[in-house]
Amino acid sequence: MGQSASAAAIPSRRENNHRHRSKSKATALISPMLAADESDEVVESVTDYISDLPDECLACIFQSLGSGDRKRCSLVCRRWLTVEGQSRHRLSLNAHADLQPAILSLFSRFDAVTKLALKCDRRAISIGDEALDLISLRCQNLTRLKLRACRELTDAGMLAFAKNCKALKKLSCGSCTFGAKGMNAVLENCSALEELSVKRLRGIGPEGSAVEPIGPGVAASSLKTICLKELYNGQCFGPLIIGAKNLRTLKLFRCGGDWDKLLQVIAERVTSMVEIHLEKLQVSDVALAAISNCLDLEILHLVKTPDCTNVGLISVSERCKLLRKLHIDGWKSNRVGDEGLISVAKSCPNLQELVLIGVNPTKASLETLAANCPNLERLALCGSDTVGDPELLCIAAKCGALKKLCIKSCPVSDVGLEGLASGCPNMVKVKVKKCRLVTPEGADSLRAKRPTLAVNLDTGEPPQDASASDGGAQDNPAVEFLPLATQPAFPDIASSSTGRSASFKSRLSLLSGRTLVACTLRRWVSRNS
């Protein structure tokens, strides 16, 4: 009600102020020789509308600004300083040891923070248990916490924090040194925890050492996402994963040990998962057969898991018929190919996104995908020796729903690219990278025939024009697709190290040639002088 009344009063003030300023201007025209006191009164009569804004409206304005603009606004006056601090919900701090003396004053100003990031340089000394305890006392409504390289934190500090911040919903920690007891303290006290991300937790210990099991705790019933990265003994999180009955997303990256048996138990107990990522993990078709129990699975990433073959992919596709996104990095092992892809095409009609890296599909599997997956909108084929012009022409002719296409390091040429001029009517973007047989003239021809199609050609070779001689060519290590307004972002696909080394050699040769020319010119100038 208070805001409505003040808002209604503003037009009357504006009208009165406008009349007063108009009257003053008219008087000045009739009698230009006004006294100094009268002119001061005219200036002082101008209303400061910003001061009439309620604190809530001012806070909304601050929340739409960037971090730098908010800092500058806080220096305008004491009121803006107070409102800006009380309306800031997200805060990121350098968690060095010298932060501790400023914690009380800092969080007296920012007393409404709900999302906090504490990041420390790996070479510096981080905050300790006492500092984290002080922060938890001042931010008891904290819902998200990110810890990076806070190596001075121990299990005792995490216990104190967990007891004070029981409303925590998301915890992400990386390169920290507390161990299983500290993690269990969080799981036992934060019953609302929904997302847990752990990377390089040094306190757990090396693979094979005796480690206290982690979980499940009271947080197991609310957990929806678990992400484990680069853990020597990541299988100690087994009780937590098994106990998370409502788990929706499981991501395992570069964790040691054999995961086949544990994934068998997990898939038997937790069948609600819709997204699974396995990267550089020791898993085989046994694990994939277990994952097939998750009948609601929609997203599956198999990245550099050489023991997974067509047999495991077939078992997943035959039971997980709701699959929408499939990413496979075969690591040039040739153990996943047409047989598995044809099974996916026949069993998963809802497939929308397919990324194949180091996999060799042929025209047979691509035709089956086009015929059975009418919703296929995003396709990436990288490092495939069997994807040439016939395969690209097949895609152009039969993938009518395709919107984004990425071809990288494949033996395609301008002939295959020419097929896209009349095919794939819904295509909005095509990216061709490091395909040596595709020329700039071929890309220009495609642009001319389809002006609305965004064609991005990267040959992987440094340009030889004047701009290249000034700063050298810059090799972009990722293939980037901008997402559509109604579609999720298409993932970046990293290039191989071989491409980067080749680009580095080419830049080095270019720089050496430029140095030789410069030396020759200096010699000529010295001789002439």
Q: How far apart are CA 191 and CA 174, in angstroms?
A: 22
Residues 75 and 141 in one domain: no
Q: Which residues neighbour 354 within 8 Å (Cβ) at sequence distance 6 or greater?
A: 325, 326, 327, 369, 376, 378, 379, 380
Inform me whether the pLDDT recorded for 193 exceeds 60. Answer: yes
Residues 118 and 148 in one domain: yes
Q: What is the pLDDT of residues 12-63, one digit of tens each?
A: 433 443 443 343 333 333 333 444 454 455 455 567 788 888 888 988 988 8
- Residue ending a domain, choose from 400, 435, 460: 460
Q: Which residues neighbour 29 within 8 Å (Cβ) at sequence distance 6 or greater?
A: none
Residues 155 and 242 in one domain: yes
Residues 68 and 119 in one domain: no
pLDDT of residue 470: 39
172 belongs to a structural domain:
yes
356 belongs to a structural domain:
no
296 belongs to a structural domain:
no
> Which of 160, 165, 152 minimizes the C-alpha distance to 116?
165
Backbone angles phi, psi at 142, to 5 degrees: -65, 130
Residues 58 and 145 in one domain: no
Q: What is the pLDDT of residues 235-287, one digit of tens each?
A: 999 999 999 999 999 999 999 989 999 999 999 999 999 999 999 999 999 99
Other beta carbons within 10 angstroms of residue 472's beta carbon come to 17
Q: What is the pLDDT of residues 305-338, one digit of tens each?
A: 999 999 999 999 999 999 999 999 998 888 999 9
Inform me whether the pLDDT recorded for 226 exceeds 60. Answer: yes
Backbone angles phi, psi at 354, to 5 degrees: -135, 125
Mean pLDDT in the chain?
Answer: 83
DSSP-based three-state secondary structure for 94: strand
Q: Cα–Cα–Cα angle for 242, 248, 251, nearest 5°?
A: 75
Q: How far apart are CA 266 and CA 242, in angstroms?
A: 5
What is the distance, to the nearest Å, from the Cα of residue 122 to the centroid of all Cα atoms in its chain?
Answer: 22
405 belongs to a structural domain:
yes
Q: Write out the E strands in 159-258.
A: 170-174, 195-199, 225-229, 249-253
pLDDT of residue 464: 53
pLDDT of residue 332: 82
DSSP-based three-state secondary structure for 173: strand
pLDDT of residue 467: 39
Q: How far apart are CA 517 and CA 5, in angstroms?
A: 76
Question: 388 with 415: CB under 8 angstroms?
Answer: no
- List the beta bridge partners of residue 148: 119, 174
pLDDT category at 94 given cuts 50, 70, 90 is very high
> Which of 194, 182, 259, 279 minimizes the C-alpha distance to 491?
279
> Which of 134, 92, 90, 86 minimizes the C-alpha distance to 111?
86
Specify the CATH number for the domain of residue 76.
Answer: 1.20.1280
- pLDDT-above-70 percentage for the chain: 77
Other beta carbons within 10 angstroms of residue 443's beta carbon come to 18
Inform me whether the pLDDT recorded for 132 exceeds 70. Answer: yes
> Which of 285, 346, 329, 330 minimizes the C-alpha distance to 311?
285
Question: 254 with 230: CB under 8 angstroms?
Answer: yes
pLDDT category at 496 given cuts 50, 70, 90 is very low
Q: Which residues neighbour 113 within 8 Å (Cβ) at sequence distance 6 or greater?
A: 88, 89, 90, 91, 107, 139, 142
Question: 256 with 283: CB under 8 angstroms?
Answer: no
Amino acid at 264: Q
pLDDT of residue 265: 96
Question: 415 with 440: CB under 8 angstroms?
Answer: no
**Segment among 127-136, 203-212, 376-385, 400-409 with least mean pLDDT:** 203-212
pLDDT category at 204 given cuts 50, 70, 90 is confident
Residues 83 and 102 in one domain: no
Q: Which residues neighbour 375 within 8 Å (Cβ) at sequence distance 6 or greater?
A: 349, 350, 351, 352, 401
Residues 238, 239, 240, 244, CA torsion sign: positive
28 belongs to a structural domain:
no
Residue 83 domain boundaries: 53-88
Q: How far apart are CA 348 and CA 298, in angstroms?
A: 10
Work out how many domains the chain is built from and give that number. 3
Q: Cα–Cα–Cα angle for 45, 48, 53, nearest 5°?
A: 145
Inform me whether the pLDDT recorded for 472 exceeds 50. Answer: no
Residues 98 and 148 in one domain: yes
Q: What is the pLDDT of residues 412-460, one digit of tens each?
A: 999 999 999 999 999 999 999 999 999 999 999 999 999 999 999 998 7
24 belongs to a structural domain:
no
Cis peptide before 216 (omega within 30 of 0): yes
pLDDT category at 462 given cuts 50, 70, 90 is low
What is the distance, to the nearest Å, from the Cα of residue 109 to the centroid of all Cα atoms in its chain?
Answer: 30
- Residue ending a domain, choose from 223, 247, 271: 247
Inform me whether the pLDDT recorded for 171 exceeds 60. Answer: yes
Q: How far apart are CA 239 and CA 276, in angstroms?
A: 18
Question: 38 with 72: CB under 8 angstroms?
Answer: no
Specify the CATH number for the domain of residue 141.
Answer: 3.80.10.10
363 belongs to a structural domain:
no
pTM of the shown model: 0.77
Question: 265 with 241: CB under 8 angstroms?
Answer: no
Residues 107 and 231 in one domain: yes
Burial of 406 (0-12, 13-18, 19+ CB in 10 A): buried
Q: How far apart are CA 119 and CA 187, in angstroms?
A: 22
pLDDT of residue 417: 93
- Mean pLDDT calculated for residue range 111-122: 94
Which among 77-86, 463-472, 488-497, 513-522 has the top mean pLDDT? 77-86
Inform me whether the pLDDT recorded for 520 exceeds 60. Answer: no
Scanning the structure block, which residue is given the tokens 């107990």? 269
pLDDT of residue 48: 76
Residues 139 and 232 in one domain: yes
Question: 277 with 251: CB under 8 angstroms?
Answer: yes
Residues 197 and 232 in one domain: yes
Residues 69 and 100 in one domain: no
Residues 66 and 148 in one domain: no
pLDDT of residue 236: 94
Inform me whether the pLDDT recorded for 466 exceeds 80. Answer: no
Q: How far apart are CA 250 and CA 4, in angstroms?
A: 48
Q: Per-residue DSSP letters for 450-494?
A: -TTSEEEEE-SS---SHHHHHH------EE--PPPTTSPPPPPEE
pLDDT category at 525 given cuts 50, 70, 90 is very low
Question: 53 with 46: CB under 8 angstroms?
Answer: no
Which CA distances in Å does 453 have to 266, 382, 460?
45, 21, 21
525 belongs to a structural domain:
no
pLDDT category at 395 given cuts 50, 70, 90 is very high
> Could you tell me which residue, 157 or 58, shows the higher pLDDT?
157
pLDDT of residue 207: 58
- List the end-to-end C-alpha distance of the chain, in Å, as a whole number: 85
